[in-house]
Amino acid sequence: MLDQATATATEPAGEAGTQAGREGGTQAAALAGGQALARAGVVGVTIVWADNNGIPRSRTVPAAQYDAAIERGVGITPLFAVFDSHDGITFDHSPLGTPSGDIRLMPVPDRLVRLAGQPGFAWVPGRQVAADGSAWPYDQRGVLERQVARAAALGLDFLAGYEMEFHLSRAGDDDGDEVRPVYDGPSYGPAKLLAVDAFAAQLLHDLDRNGVPIGQLHGEYGPGQFEFNISPADPVTAADRQLLARQTVHAAARAHGLRASFAPLVNPGQVGNGWHLHTSLSQAGANLLSGGDGPAGMTAEGGAYLAGLLRDLPAVVAVTAPSLSSLQRLRPGYWSGAYTCWGVENREASLRLVPSTPLLGAGHANVELKPSDAAANPYLALAAVIAAGLGGIEDGLTPPDPVQDNPGSWSEERRAEHGVHRLPATVTEQLGALLGNPRVRAALGEELTDAFRAVRVSDAARARDRDAADVLRSYRWLY
């Protein structure tokens, strides 16, 4: 990724986004029960969650059974918490060390959407609860909800927005080694969208009808690469919309003989797909990343939030870019954020501060996390970011000077002098950073942290005797 349109993580979604949100909410209200769904022509409701590999998992119930699912949930195995990226089940996490047990998947009914690209189906995110209905420590959505509540107790509100990059090819254009892109020409130009004109029109329509407001859609830097930006929302809504957006893209692509991949790296040697995560925080309606006398106009609290992210960045990125494909994407010089540093509008920095401007206003300021991709569970990714930032505020941290250069071009001595280090480049290094970080571990909870560890170890073991290109191919169509 060599250029990004910024998600404005503190501004309202705008009229189009507000309308989409209203339509999504209206859908949920109008289709609240199974009988209403059936009358509208919906035959099934797909209840979706994301596992510890960022992969959406689901159960679909007939419309007539949706009311019962709201009341009692749907039975699923607790072992989804220890599925690895390739559907292997690891028993290396002792609390889930046997095939016995059952939990319940509960739909979140106020998020129900009838899918524009799949009119026979509705979509709804799910919560995982214990068989008796009590909290389940491996429920990723609950992890994020707890961090949002923690912030609220401190008088802080968060907004989050995603930039979502993906690769398009014609169905069947995969020769095993590489995928032929749907268009290989000048980046960012209108001809790139013209090559997928009908798909793009349907995608914009379906995202709007599904209640996913976006700021823009464009052809990105890489061959066959495209991007759209999801407008900012509260963190739980942002994570829900990210899951729904994936479904929307895949359905639109299928309708036009295309195949979409959100994988962190689709072809060796090319730019990867980042899902850059923009966050901002406010207190009493005032954006803390602007209006102060700190660096780039940050307040003391805004600077502490950024400093907390920077302090815990290796552990955060172990959650936001956790796969073997993610590690191949994180390379110096590709604007993926391979080094621990922050900068003002520096696209090579792992943390890019987007400051307020007279044109866009004080509410525009936000922090972009570049090392983030489709392998991240969106709920856990946001929970880790919020926890790290709140830790910085609670500890009164101040950020170091910004880096406005490419740290990859510096000598090791100069990087060390500025406290800039390469992010972990192996699974072992990532897990060391995560397990050694008390703040991120506490946010995830000990049970989920250890299940997450077991999954990463299982992925690494699967790849041990395979070359990098083969590993990359194995992740290509997981996302």
We report the CATH number of the domain holding residue 209 as 3.30.590.10
105: amino acid identity, one letter: L
Of the three residues 103, 119, 136, the one that is the final residue of a domain is 136
Across 167-199, b (16+ Cβ under 10 Å) vs e yields bbbeeeebeeebbebbbeeeeeeeebbebbeeb
Percentage of the residues of the chain whose pLDDT score is greater than 70: 93
Residues belonging to the chain: 479
Nearest alpha-carbon partner for 13 in 225, 172, 234, 164 = 234
160 and 262 in a single domain? The answer is: yes
- 20 vs 248: which has the higher pLDDT: 248
- 73 vs 334: which has the higher pLDDT: 73
- CATH of residue 44's domain is 3.10.20.70
- Distance in angstroms (rounded) separating the CA atoms of residues 129 and 237: 19
Joined tokens for residue 119? 């009119």
Q: What is the mean pLDDT of residues 138-146?
A: 98
DSSP string, 188-236: TSHHHHHTTHHHHHHHHHHHHHTT--EEEEEE-SSTTEEEEEEEEE-HH
Nearest alpha-carbon partner for 7 in 159, 161, 118 = 161
Listed range (105-109, 291-295, 302-306) with the worst mean pLDDT: 291-295
Q: What is the pLDDT of residue 8?
A: 37
Report the first-to-last Cα separation within the chain, whole angstroms.
18
289 and 404 in a single domain? The answer is: yes
- Distance in angstroms (rounded) separating the CA atoms of residues 245 and 239: 10
CA angle 131, 136, 141 (to 5 degrees): 125
205 and 326 in a single domain? The answer is: yes
Nearest alpha-carbon partner for 268 in 20, 470, 477 = 470
Decide if 249 contacts 242 (C-beta within 8 A).
no
Whether the pLDDT of residue 7 is over 50: the answer is no
Taking each helix axis from N to C end, the angle separating 235-255 and 197-209, rounded to the nearest 10 degrees, works out to 140
Instruction: Please give the torsion angle defined by the CA atoms of residues 105, 164, 235 and 66, in that order, rounded to the nearest 10 degrees.
Output: -30
Whether the pLDDT of residue 28 is over 60: the answer is no
Q: What is the pLDDT of residue 33?
A: 80
DSSP string, 83-128: B-TTS-B---SGGG-SS---EEEEE-GGG-EE-TTSTTEEEEEEEE
Residue 9 lies in a domain: no
Nearest alpha-carbon partner for 204 in 193, 217, 219, 185 = 217
Listed range (40-54, 175-189, 430-444) with the worst mean pLDDT: 175-189
- Average model confidence (pLDDT) across the chain: 92
Note the helical H segments in 210-352. 235-255, 300-311, 313-320, 324-329
Decide if 384 contacts 444 (C-beta within 8 A).
yes
Of the three residues 110, 136, 162, the one that is the final residue of a domain is 136
Pairing of strands 113-114, 103-107: unpaired
Of the three residues 104, 136, 168, the one that is the final residue of a domain is 136
* Residues spanned by the domain of 288: 145-475
- pLDDT tens-digit series, residues 340-352: 999 999 999 999 9
Q: What is the pLDDT of residue 236?
A: 98
Q: Which residue has the tokens 């036009």?
A: 256
Decide if 107 contacts 45 (C-beta within 8 A).
yes
167 and 128 in a single domain? The answer is: no
The number of domains in the chain is 2
Decide if 111 contacts 32 (C-beta within 8 A).
no
Q: What is the pLDDT of residue 3?
A: 32
Q: What is the pLDDT of residue 334?
A: 82
Q: How far is CA 214 from the centre of its chain?
A: 15
Whether the pLDDT of residue 322 is over 80: the answer is yes
Helix (H) or strand (E) holding 114: strand 113-114
384 and 461 in a single domain? The answer is: yes
* pTM score, whole prediction: 0.92
Q: Which residue has the tokens 């309308």?
A: 19
- pLDDT tens-digit series, residues 106-127: 999 999 999 999 999 999 999 9
Residue 14 lies in a domain: no
Contacts of residue 38, defined as CB under 8 A and 6 or more positions apart, other chains included, come to 63, 64
68 and 195 in a single domain? The answer is: no
Contacts of residue 18, defined as CB under 8 A and 6 or more positions apart, other chains included, come to 12, 213
